[in-house]
């Protein structure tokens, strides 16, 4: 499994069940890395998607214990064990974890790669991702050139950010 996440300087990922920033190039990067793949996320992340619906052009797996959650266009898995069983039954699927905080925390031990957009800014936040720079067994293997958000298309103007890739080195 792999994961994709956008973080601020303190590895924050959200505030009041919303993303910290919306940057068009980051959303394009997300789409490029997830289209045609299987994505895993929780019910809070589902609510952040357009119209609160599963994303098109992907197999959507929702990790949730809510027995009433039955969105059209997604498979609901009730535990990490069910997800691992799904993964074993579908070995050809490329699975990407896309959030939120509790799902990342549960599935990070099963991931071998992380695609992290690093916003060089600090936002108000109440949800975090583990700092991979301080997490044993993870190493940053690539960092893109610094880019800058555009106020015409993004929620922030002139915010520096870069795309990084981390790999598990103890696997």
How far apart CA 31 and CA 12 sit, in angstroms, is 21
pLDDT tens-digit map of 91-134: 999 999 999 999 999 999 999 999 999 999 999 999 999 999 99
Enter the tokens of residue 14.
Answer: 């959200």
Distance in angstroms (rounded) separating the CA atoms of residues 169 and 78: 30
So what's the pLDDT on residue 170? 74
What count of Cα atoms within 13 Å lies in the side-chain half-sphere of residue 67? Answer: 0
DSSP state letter for 55: P
How many domains is the chain partitioned into structurally?
A: 1
Q: What is the CATH number of the domain that holds 124?
A: 3.40.430.10
Per-residue tens of pLDDT for the chain, all 171 residues: 999 999 999 999 999 999 999 999 999 999 999 999 999 999 999 998 999 999 999 999 999 999 999 999 999 999 999 999 999 999 999 999 999 999 999 999 999 999 999 999 999 999 999 999 999 999 999 999 999 999 999 999 999 999 999 999 975
User: Vertex 115, ends 112 and 50: CA angle to 5°?
Assistant: 120
In angstroms, the CA 20 to CA 15 distance is: 6
Q: What is the pLDDT of residue 58?
A: 98
State how far the Cα of 55 lies from the Cα of 59, in Å rounded to an integer.
8
Contact 119, 6 (CB under 8 A): yes
pLDDT for position 115: 98
- Domain containing 16 equals 2-168
């Amino acid at each position: 499994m792999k994961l994709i996440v956008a973080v601020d300087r303190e590895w924050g990922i959200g505030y009041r069940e919303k993303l910290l920033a919306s940057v068009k190039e980051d959303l394009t990067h997300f789409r490029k890395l997830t289209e045609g793949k299987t994505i895993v996320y929780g019910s809070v992340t589902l609510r952040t998607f357009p119209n609160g619906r599963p994303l098109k052009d992907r197999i959507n797996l929702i990790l949730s214990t809510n027995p009433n959650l039955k969105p059209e266009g997604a498979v609901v898995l009730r535990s990490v064990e069910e997800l691992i069983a799904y993964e074993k039954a579908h070995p050809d699927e490329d699975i990407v974890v896309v959030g939120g905080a509790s799902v990342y925390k549960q599935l990070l031990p099963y991931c071998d790669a992380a695609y992290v957009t690093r916003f060089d800014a600090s936002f108000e936040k109440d949800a975090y991702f583990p700092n991979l720079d301080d997490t044993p067994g993870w190493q940053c293997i690539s960092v893109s050139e610094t880019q800058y958000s555009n106020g015409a298309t993004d929620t922030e103007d002139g915010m520096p950010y870069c795309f990084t890739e981390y790999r598990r080195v103890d696997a």
